[in-house]
Structure 1
Amino acid sequence: MFRILFYLLVVFLLGLGFAWLAERPGELVVTFAGYRYEVTLMVAAVLIVVIVAAVMILWWLIRGIWNSPYTVARYFRVRRRDRGYQALSTGMIAAGAGDGGLARRMGKQAAKLISADQEPLIHLLDAQAALLEGDRQAARDKFTAMLDDPEMRLLGLRGLYLEAERMGEREAARHYAERAVEDAPQLEWAANAALEGKTGEGDWDGALKLLDTRKPASQADRESAARRRAVLLTAKAMETLDADVQGARSAALEAHKLRPDFVPAAVVAAKALFRQSELRKGSKVLEAVWKKEPHPEVAAVYIHARPGDSVQDRLTRAKKLESLKQNNVESSLAVGRAALDAAEYKLARDAAEAAARLGPRESVYLLMADIEEAETGDQGRVRQWLARALRAPRDPAWVADGYVAEHWAPISPVTGKLDAFEWRVPMERLAQVIESGEDFAPASSVTPAVLPAARETEVDDAVVIEATPAATPPPAPATGQETGEKASPEAAGPQKDKAPTPPQSVAAKPASPDLAKRDGARSEEADMSAKPRLPDDPGVDPDEANGSTPAGFRLF
C-alpha cells in the first residue's frame, strides 16, 4: 500500500515538473565537437528521462544474463525442496495414521530430497516409522542420536522417556525427565515426572523447589500450582512434626493459607500449634476449616485439643463445633460420641438420631449400638443396630486409585500420583462372582439355609466379600408335630449341632475400632444365618419391641 502511494507521489511530482517547464519557455544550447545543438527545455527534459530509463533497462538485462546460472540452479533446488517437504508431510501423516510402511518409504524419499542436517523432522519420521514397525531398538537409537542436536534434544528426551515408561523402567524415565526439566522447566510432562520422582523419594524440599521454577501461564495453572504446593507443604509438615515443630507449623500454616478447605493442612497446623500451647490459634484454624469442610478428624483433634480436659469439657467443645455447622452429620456424630463418653446417654441418643435423619450410614448405627450397650445392655437391640450398620451405606474415607486408606497421604500408593487422595465413599468390589446359572431371590425372601454364606476379608483396609458355597438345609425334625407348631428347645438342640458352620471371618488389621466392630457383627450374622433361630432369640426390631410379634422367626 505504501509503495503504491510512493509511486503515485513520484508521478505527481514529475507531472508538476513538466507542467512548470511548459509554462516557462526557453532554449538549451549545447556546443560539442564544433556543432551547436539548440533544443527547448521540454525536449531536453524528455531526453534526459528517456536516457535514464534506457540505462536502467540495459542494466537489468545485463544483470539477468549474468545471474541466470544461479537463478536456474535455485529454481531446481526450490523444486527439489518442495518435493522433499511434500514427501515429509505425507510421511508424518502416514505415521499419525499408523501406516508404518508408507511412513518408511516417504522418510527415505524425503531424506534423498532434503538433507537431514537441514531438516531434523526426518529423524523424527524415521523414529516413528521404527516404532510402528516394532523396531524399538532402532527407535531408541534415533532418539539417542537426537540428544547431540540442541534443536532436537528435548524431542529425543521425550521419546526416550516414553520408551522407558513403556518398558516399566521408572528410574530411567525419571532420569530423562529430570534432564528435560533442566533445559525447559515449562514442559508439563517432564515437570510432572520429575515431581513424582522427588515426592516418591520423600524429597519435599526438592519438589517445592522444582515447583517454584515453573511459571504458570494461566489462571488454571496458577490454581493447580497452589494446590500442589499446599499438598507438598502439608507432607513436609507431617514428616517434620515430631522433629521440628516450628518448621512444621510454618509449612502447615502456609498450606492452610493456600487452601483454606484442605483438611490435612489444617489438622497438622492445629497439632503443631497445640504442641506450642497456642490453643486459641489452633482452634481458630480448625474452626475455619470445619465451616468449609466438616471432617471427623478435625472434630477429633478439636475435641481432644487439651489432653487434661474432662469429658464435660470435650462435650462443650463438641457442642461448639455443632453450633458452627448445624444440621450436619459430622456435627451430630461429634456431639454423640462426646456425650457417650460423658455418660449423657439421652443427649448422645438424640444426636445419633439426628445424624440418622440427616445421613444414615454405618458409623451412625455403630454409635447407636454403643449407646444401647452402655445405657441398657440390651444385646438384642445392640445386635439389631449392628445389623443395620452392616446394611447401611459406608462412611467416607480417603480413597486414591481404588485404594482405601485410614489417613491421608500426599501421593497414591498405587500410581505415585501427587494429590490423588479424595474424601469420598469407597466402592466395594466383589472378589469372586457367584457361579452363573443360579437364580437367587432377593435377600428379604431367601431363608438363611438357602442364602450362600459370605466370608469377608480386609485387604489394604478395603472390604472384600468372597462368596462361599451355600450351606445345605438341615433336615426337618421328625417330631410328629403339626405344621406351624413351635419346636421345643430340646428338639432344636440337635438341629443346632448338625447345622453346618460357615467359614470364619478373616480380617487383616482393621482400619478403625468401628471397622473391627462391623467385622464382628458380620461374622456373628454369618454364624446366625446358617443356624435355625431359637424362640428366645432377641433379634427383633426395637421399633416393634412394644408391638405384636409375628408368628415365626425374624431375620435382621
Structure 2
Amino acid sequence: MIRILFFILIVLALGAGFAWLADRPGELSLIWQGQRIEMSLMVAATLLASLISAILIVVWLVRVVWLSPHSISRYFRARKRDRGYQALSTGLIAAGAGDSALARKMTARTHGLLSADQEPLIHLLEAQTALIEGKYDDARKKFELMADDPETRELGLRGLYLEAKRLGANEAARQYAERAADKAPHLPWATLAALDYRSQTGQWDEAIRLLDQSRAAHVIDRKEADRKKAVLLTARAAEKLESDPKGARDDAQAALKLSETLVPAGLIAAKALFREDNLRKAASILEKLWKHEPHPEVARVYVRARSGDSAIDRLKRANKLEALKPNNVVSLATVAESALEARELQLARAKAEAAARIQPSEGIFLLLADIEEADTGDDGRIRHWMNQALKSPRDPAWTADGVTAPEWLPVSPVSGKLDAFEWKMPVAQIAGPVEDGNVDMADEAIRSLPPVAIAHHRDEPVQKPVEKVVETPVKATAPVKVEEIVEQPAVKTIAVPVPTESVIVPETVKTETKPAPAKTEEPVVEPFFGRPPDDPGVRNDSAKPLEKTTFRLF
C-alpha cells in the first residue's frame, strides 16, 4: 500500500513539473563539437527523463541476468522448505491423532526436506511419534535435547516432567518443575507444580515467595492466588501454634483476610487467642465463621473455650450458637451434645430428634443412642438407634481425593495437591440429605422406637423378682432328684435339702435383667435388631422341645 502511494506521488510530481515547464516556454541552445543544437525547454526535459528511464531499465536487466543463478536456487530452496513445513504440520497432526504410521512417514519426509538445526520442531515430532509407538526411552532422549536448546527449553522440560509423573518418579518431576519455574516463572504448570512440591515438603516460606512472584507476573488468577496463599499461611500457622502462638495468630489472621471462610485458619487464630486469654476476640472470630456456615469443629472450640467451665456453662454457649443460626442441623446437634453432658436428657432428646428430622445422618442417630443409654438404658432402644445409624448417610468430613482425614491438611496425601481437602460427605448417597424420603425415614425411626422394657433409671439397681413355689413335702433321708421341665431358658428351679416333715420352698430366679412383659390383650412385640454374642436371641417355637433338666439336692 505504501509503495502504491509512493508511486502515485512520483507520477503527480512529474506531471506537475511538466505542466510548470509548459506554462513557461523557452529555448535551449547547445554547441557540441562545432555543431549548434537548438530545442525548446519542454523537449529537452522530455529527452532527459527518457534517458534516465532507459539507464534504469538497462541496470535492472543487467542485475537480473547477473543474479539469475542465485534467484533460481533460492526459488527451489523455498519450494523445498515449504514442502518440509507441510510434512512437519501433517506429522504433528497425525501424532496428535495417534496415527503412528503416518507420523513416522512424515518424520522421515521432514528429515529429507528440513534440517533439525534450522527447525527444532522436528525433535518434537520425533518425540511425539516415539510416545505413541511406546518408545519412551527415545522420547525422553528427544526431550532432553530440547531441554538443552534455549529455543525449546520449556517444551523439553514439560515433556520430561510429564514422563517423570507417568513413571512415578516424583523427585525427578519436582526437579524438572523447579528448573522450569526458575527459568520461566510465567509458565502456570511449572509454577503450580513447584508450589505443590514445596508444600508437600513443608517449605511454606519458599512456596509463599513463589506464589507472590507468580501473582506479580499474572500467571495465576488473583482470587485463586489469594486462596492458595491463605492455605499456605494456615499451614505455617499450624506448625507455629505450639512453639510460637503469637506468630501463629498473625499468620492465621492474615489468612482470614485473604479468605474469610477458611475454617482451619479461624480455628487456629481462635486457639492462639485463647492461649493469650483474649476470649472476646477469639469468640468474635468463631461467631463470624459460624454465621457464614455452621461447622462442628467451630462449635466444639467455641463451646469448650474455657477449660474450667461447667457442663451448664457449655450448654449456655451452645444455646448462643443455636440463637445465631437457628433451625440448623449442626446447631441442634451441638445443643444436644452439651445437654447430654449437662444431664438435661429431655432437652438433648428433643434437639437430637429435631436434627434427625431435618437431616438424618449417622452421627445424629449415634447421639440418640448415647442419649438413650443415659436416659433409659434400654438395650433394645439403643440397638434401634444404632441400626438407624447404619442405614443413614455418613457425616461430612475432611475429604480429598476420596480419602478422609480426622483433621484438615493443607496438602492431599494422595495426589499432593495444595488445598485439596473439602468439608463434604465422604461417600455419595443415592438420596440427598434434605429429600422427603430421608425426612420420612427419620420420622419412621422415631415412631417405630420400641417401648421402654424397664422403667427405671440407668444408675438405679435392678431388683430381681423372686417367685416362691410350694411343693409337696418329701423326706430327706437321702438325696432325692427333682425333675422339672423348664419352659423358659431364663428360669430355673433350685431345690435345697430340708429336714423331714418340712416343706421344700424352691426359689425361681430370672437370670435376665429384664422381666417378661406383662400379659395384656395385645402383647407388645419388640423388634429384633441383632444381638451381642451373649444374647440368647429370639426363641424359636418351631424347634424341638427342651429336654428335661435334672437337679440334684444337696
* Structure 1 residue aligned with 2:390: 390
Does residue 1:418 correspond to 2:413, yes or no? Answer: no
1:26-48 CA-partner distances (Å, limit 9, x unpaired): 21112222111111122122112
Residue 297 (structure 2) pairs with residue 292 (structure 1): no
Q: Could you tell me whether the CA contact under 8 Å between 1:28 and 1:41 is conserved in 2?
A: yes
Corresponding residue for residue 111 of structure 1? 111
State the AA in 1 paired with 2:267: V
Compare 290-299 and 334-343 and name the one that shifted more.
334-343
Counterpart residue identity of residue 338, structure 2: A
- Match for residue 193 of structure 1? 193
| Separation (CA, whole Å) in 2 of partners of 1:2 and 1:185 | 41
Structure 1 residue 532, shift from structure 2 partner: 4.1
Q: Note the 1:338-487 alignment, pairs <5 A.
A: 338-427=338-427
Q: Which residue of 2 aligns with 1:480?
A: none
After superposition, the C-alpha distances for 1:116-142 in whole angstroms (9 at most, x for unaligned) are 111101111122222233222222222
Say if 1:141 and 1:530 are closer, same or farther in 2 by CA, change over 3 A.
farther
The offset of 1:92, in angstroms, is 1.4
Considering only CA atoms, is the larger Rg found in Structure 1 or Structure 2?
2
Deviations 1:257-299 (A, max 9, x none): 1111111111111111111111111111111111112110000
Q: Match of 2:29, SS?
A: strand
Aligned ranges for residues 261-300 of structure 1 at < 5 Å?
Answer: 261-300=261-300
**Residue 270 of structure 1: SS of its match in structure 2?**
helix
Structure 2: segments with no counterpart, 5+ residues? 430-443, 445-485, 493-527, 541-554
1:30/1:52 CA distance change after superposition, 3 Å: same
Q: In structure 1, what is the equivalent of residue 169 of structure 2? A: 169
Deviations 1:27-75 (A, max 9, x none): 1112222111111122122112111211111111122122222211211
- The 1:532/1:344 distance shift into structure 2, 3 A limit, reads closer
Q: What whole-Å deviation, never above 9, does each CA across 1:471-528 have from its counterpart, x for those lacking one? A: xxxxxxxxxxxxxxxx9524999xxxxxxxxxxxxxxxxxxxxxxxxxxxxx983648
Structure 2 equivalent of residue 133 of structure 1: 133
Aligned-partner residue type, residue 413 of structure 2: P
Q: Distance in 1 between matches of 2:535 and 2:371?
A: 29
Structure 2 residue 57 is matched with structure 1 residue 52: no
User: In 1, are the aligned partners of 2:387 and 2:529 still within 8 Å (CA)?
Assistant: no
Q: Deviations over 1:125-184 (max 9, x none)?
A: 122222233222222222222232111222222222222222221111111111111111
Q: 1:46 to 1:78 in 2, by over 3 A?
A: same
1:220 to partner: Cα distance: 7.3
CA distance in 2, matches of 1:219, 1:138: 32
Please give the alpha-carbon distance, in whole angstroms, between the structure 1 residues aligned to 2:122 and 2:219: 37
| 8 Å Cα contact 2:147/2:154 also seen in 1 | yes
**Relative to structure 2, which stretch is displaced further, 170-179 or 220-229?**
220-229
Q: 2-side partners of 1:217 and 1:405: how far apart?
A: 35
**Alignment partners' CA distance in 1, 2:391 and 2:487:** 32
Q: Does 1:232 align with 2:214?
A: no
1:203-218 pair list within 5 angstroms? 203-215=203-215
Distance 1:386 1:169 in 2: 46
Which residue pairs with 1:252 in the alignment?
252
Going from structure 1 to structure 2, the CA distance change for 1:261 and 1:64 (only over 3 Å counts) comes to same
Change (3 A) 1:43 1:492: farther
Amino acid at match of 1:368: L
SS in structure 2 of the partner of residue 525 of structure 1: coil
Report the 3-state secondary structure (helix = DSSP H, G, I; strand = E; otherwise coil) of the residue aligned with 2:416.
coil
Q: Please list, as runs of the form range in 1=range in 2, the aligned pairs for 1:64-75 lying within 5 A after superposition.
A: 64-75=64-75
Separation in 1 of the partners of 2:373 and 2:85? 83
Verify the 8 A CA contact 1:195 1:207 in the aligned structure 2: yes
Contact 1:186 1:215 survives alignment (8 Å): no
SS of 2:257's partner is: helix
Deviation at 1:108, TM superposition (A): 2.4
Q: How far is 1:2 from its partner?
A: 4.0
Give the number of equivalent residue pairs: 450
Residues 361 and 392 in structure 1, CA contact (< 8 A), matched pair in contact too: yes
**Within 1, Cα distance between the matches of 2:370 and 2:383?**
11
